[in-house]
Structure 1
Amino acid sequence: MDELISIIVPIYKVEKYIHRCVDSIINQSYKNLEIILVDDGSPDNSGVICNEYQKQDSRVKVIHKKNGGLGFARNSGLDCASGKYVTFIDGDDYIGNKQIEKMYSFMKETETDTCMAGHTKVYKDKQVEHLNVCSGKVYKDKIKEHILPRMCGADAHGNDYIEMSVCMVLLSNEIIQNNHLRFVSEREYVSEDLVFDFEYYPLSKGVCILDTTDYYYCDNEDSLTTKYRGDRFESQIRLYKLLIDKSKNLNIENLCKVRLQNTVIAIARYSIKLEYKFAGSNGKNIANENVRRICKNNTLQEIMSEYDDHDIRMASRVINYLIRHQNYFLLKITMKAKNIFGI
């Protein structure tokens, strides 16, 4: 008999997407589901729509809570999840109708307790498939060595990166509950998923990676990842320090450090780009002050001092040089040229 699988869906201001999301879950070919919709204090009609689904389908449970963010909404779902396995779907995304069946079947076939998969990025005018870089592989030993470094960031060439989102993974609820694993707030760390991953994967007995892309990650204008966030860089620095400590405790710092540094530098460049992009609305002086604050960050400068970037794209290398030497005038000009010409 198929085992119960819990699907946790945090809901916040997704009224125009929620039917697409929940319908894709209800219509799964795998039927033994516990569907937990967590209304995170959504100010629109999302909570009402959740209640309607609960009346229509006995598998649906609804939690209404005060707004606390994505991580804490997921925690509320975990507190009542009773499935053998658990996965997460964001309220503005959706899944193919055989997503759960495929993941569960592959996990049973490979005798593992965790199944990862790829995803499809959905834009307004196109869809782009992203296979997991370890697609087709099964790991039953040295799991933390194979998985966690790849989640920390890409290599120097921008490759060999595993999407760390828990939305594309079928996880062992036994591991989660027995070790009381929960999410930190995304308001404190820029990636609450990765912090969770560092706790979960060292406890896994086996990980299989499915060669599908049936999770549809939607590029919505209201998404947290598309909005300006003034503390994005500082949040990344906090995450870097936390994961360096965790990787030391797991004896994989040598595998993770350079990738974590790659990510910090990439986020520094991206944060500077956003400051200049939103200078019109936030104010030029504020943008310039924020860029200076980023460039002067001690942790970033320490990373830059030991970072070998001779083998990366010239445009990125030039920006790194200007950040390292805090040349704000040329940095602004270069960033604008990069945006205009796509270099």
Structure 2
Amino acid sequence: MPNQAKFKDPKISVVIPVYNVEPFVGKCLSTLVHQTFQDFEIIAVNDGSKDGSLAILREFERNYANIIVIDQPNAGMSMARNRGMEAARGEYLCFVDSDDYVSPYFLEELYRAVTENDADIACCYYYYHFVRSDVLYKYPFRCHGVFSRDVAMNKLLHDTQIQSLVWNKIYKRSLFTDYGITFPSMAFEDLATANKLFSHANKVVVIDKALYYYSQQSTSTLATINADKINDFIRATAMVRATLENVGVYSDYEKAYHALCRKTGLCCLYYVLKMHLRERKGANCLSNLNRVRRGIFYCCSKQFKLENLRRHMPDVTVCPPALKENYSTR
């Protein structure tokens, strides 16, 4: 178990799930230990890495009093994040992926934004870092300011002005603990989780500064798309509706939710075609396209119930095998 006495009562807990990222995790941690904001802990959860990631984590743990390393068998990114949350003691939570890195002002700016505006969530802009070509691209956000729950939820559901990502944000930890929110064990878990968090946030602030560097690699969820992930994308979209219904606000956001469904549907249709072309196998392609269509239509239907999704949309099944290990880096 980690030594919880190492760094007492930090303001922020930064949770980092780690799996086979030996070439990148050192840079990730280096950018965090050199933050201008100092009152925080880092909880790095090694999720059964088979490379030298754990050794790098242990070296940082020896050298920095605010780093806690948890080692567990491979269980997937969501379970690693959940394990980190269990150990967290900060008033605020932040998530950083282990192959990404951050600006020296990342925590300072987000903490200032969330506290000065008495908000529950603060978001920042980010860069895409295309690792292979070493190119940086600033994502073109189109909003900043302080937003009520209603405005923030509409922006999140449209998934352009605010995106369903967990890593470019800071959250009051009470959002997770008071409402029992954890990450589901699936791909596209951010989509399902972010909407739960926003549905309980009274105020959200977005700052117009790019402070996070997202590393786009060949091992990301979208780069390694397969049948299981397509099914999870639709399931995560269905979980968003279930969240809205459980909170009693689905009718308020029905139009925005339908926009999300259209985006999910178009993406999944593209992924099915891409998957079959990659494998050079046409069998089941039309059936899979129809399964996606049926699933999206059901998500928007008046008869929707999350537990009945699989009955209305049989799983997309194809050629590409699912990943052998229960893990995705995105």
Cα-to-partner distance string for 1:161-195 (whole Å, 9 max, x where unaligned): 42211100110012222222211012xxx321121
Deviations 1:254-295 (A, max 9, x none): 23332122222222232133224422xxxx3xx322422322
Match of 2:28 in 1: 21
Count how many residue pairs are aligned between Structure 1 and Structure 2.
287
How far does the alpha carbon of each residue in 1:112-149 deviate from its partner, in whole angstroms, 9 at most, with x for none? 232111110011242111254322x102x3x1x32234
Alignment partners' CA distance in 2, 1:18 and 1:96:
15
Structure-2 separation of matches of 1:301 and 1:93: 33
1:179 maps to a residue whose letter is Y
Q: Deviations over 1:286-318 (max 9, x none)?
A: x322422322217538739x9xxxxxxxxxxxx
Partner of 1:99: 106
CA distance in structure 1 between the aligned counterparts of 2:62 and 2:292, rounded to whole angstroms: 54
Tell me what 2:47 maps to.
40
**Between structures 1 and 2, the one with greater strand share:** 2
SS at match of 1:166: coil
Q: Which residue of 2 aligns with 1:134?
A: 143
Distance of aligned partners of 1:191 and 1:228 in 2 relative to their CA distance in 1, 3 Å threshold? closer
Q: CA deviation at 1:214?
A: 1.2
Task: Name the SS of the counterpart of 1:83 in structure 2.
Answer: coil
- 8 Å Cα contact 2:94-2:169 kept in structure 1: yes
From the superposition, tell whether residues 73 and 296 of structure 1 become closer, same or farther in structure 2 (CA, over 3 Å). same
Which residue of 101, 122, 128 corresponds with 1:115?
Answer: 122
Residue identity in the other structure for 1:180: G
Instruction: State the TM-score, normalized to the length of structure 2.
Output: 0.80
User: 2:304: which partner in 1?
Assistant: none
Higher normalized helix content (fraction of residues): 1
Query: CA offsets per residue over residues 39-92 of structure 1, 9 Å max, x none?
Result: 011111111111111111010000111111111110000001000111000000
Relative to the length of structure 1, the TM-score reads: 0.77
4+ long deviations beyond 6 Å: none
Q: Flag the 1:301–1:198 CA change in 2: closer, same or farther, 3 A.
A: closer
* Structure 1, unpaired ranges of 5+: 155-159, 307-343
Post-superposition shift, 1:204? 1.8
The code of the aligned residue for 1:26 comes to: V
State the match for 2:221 in structure 1. 224
Assess if the C-alpha contact under 8 Å between 1:117 and 1:131 holds in 2.
no
Percent of matched pairs sharing the same residue: 22
CA deviation map 1:6-39 (0-9, x unaligned):
1000000100001110101001010111100000
Say which is worse superposed, 219-228 or 41-50, in terms of deviation.
219-228
Q: Secondary structure at the match of 1:53?
A: helix
Distance 1:177 1:60, change over 3 A: same
Structure 1 residues 227, 166: closer, same or farther in 2, change over 3 A? same
Matched, 1:245 2:242: yes
Structure 2 unaligned spans of 5+: 1-8, 301-330
**2:38 matched to 1:31?**
yes
Give the root-mean-square deviation of aligned CA atoms.
2.3
- The structure number with the bigger radius of gyration is 1
